[in-house]
Amino acid sequence: MDQKKYAKLEQGITPKPPILKNCIKAFLVGGAFCLVAQFIALFYMTFFDFTERTASNPTVATMIFISMLLTGFGLYKKIGQIGGAGASVPITGFGNAVVSAAIEHKSEGYVLGVGGNIFKLAGSVILFGVFSAFLVALVKTILVKLGVVSW
C-alpha cells in the first residue's frame, strides 16, 4: 500500500475531534481563571489600597500559588482534562509546569529530584522572560535618553 492510500485510509478511520466543543470548553475554563484573577485583583485594590497597576504583581503571584496548590492536590490535571488549552493560561500553566516537574521527580530525592528538575519545563520561560524584560528595558532606556519617548 503506498503512502497516499494509507493516508486516505487513516483519515477515514480517525475520528474527527469535536473542535467547536473543545473551543467552547477552553474559552470557559480560561475565562474562569481570568475571572478569578479579576476578583483577586479587586480584593487587593479594595482591602490593601493597591491601584489597578500595582495590584497586578500580587495578583499574578497569587494565581501562580493557587495553580501550584491545585496541581499538588491533583485538581489541576482534572481542570486541564476538561478545559484543554483553556487551562494553559500562561500564569496558571507556569505554576502547573513547575510543580508537575517537581512532583514527577520527587522519588529521586529532594535535592537531585525536586531541586534538579523543578524548573525543567519552566526554566526556558524564566530565562526568556528575564532576557526579554532586559531587552525591553534597554530599548526603553535608550529611547528615553535619545528623547524619542518620555515615560
Tell me, what's the pLDDT at 4? 86
24 lies in the same domain as 47: yes
Whether 6 maps to a domain, the answer reads no
128 lies in the same domain as 106: no
89 lies in the same domain as 104: yes
Angle (nearest 5°) at CA 99 between 28 and 113: 155
Q: What percent of the chain has pLDDT over 90?
A: 54
pLDDT category, 60, cuts 50, 70, 90?
very high
pLDDT category, 48, cuts 50, 70, 90?
very high
Please give the tally of structural domains in the chain.
Answer: 2
Which one is predicted more confidently, 130 or 94? 130
Cell 534597554 maps to which residue? 138
Q: How many helices (H) and strands (E) does the chain have?
A: 7, 0
- Is a pLDDT exceeding 80 seen at residue 34? yes
81 lies in the same domain as 147: no
- Is a pLDDT exceeding 80 seen at residue 46? yes
Whether 56 maps to a domain, the answer reads yes
The stretch 80-104 carries a mean pLDDT of 85
- The pTM (predicted TM-score) of the whole model is 0.73
Burial state string for 32-60 with b = 16 or more CB within 10 A and e = fewer than 16: ebeeebeebbeebeeeeebeeeebeeebb
Q: Which of 18-22, 52-56, 147-151 has the lowest mean pLDDT?
A: 147-151
User: How does pLDDT run across 108-135, given as a tens digit for each residue?
Assistant: 777 777 777 777 777 787 888 899 999 9
40 lies in the same domain as 102: yes
pLDDT category, 138, cuts 50, 70, 90?
very high
Domain that holds residue 129: 123-151
- Is a pLDDT exceeding 80 seen at residue 43? yes
Tell me, what's the pLDDT at 1? 65
107 lies in the same domain as 35: yes
Residues 41 and 55 sit within 8 Å (Cβ to Cβ) = yes
95 lies in the same domain as 133: no
70 lies in the same domain as 52: yes
Whether 57 maps to a domain, the answer reads yes
106 lies in the same domain as 132: no
Whether 134 maps to a domain, the answer reads yes
131 lies in the same domain as 103: no
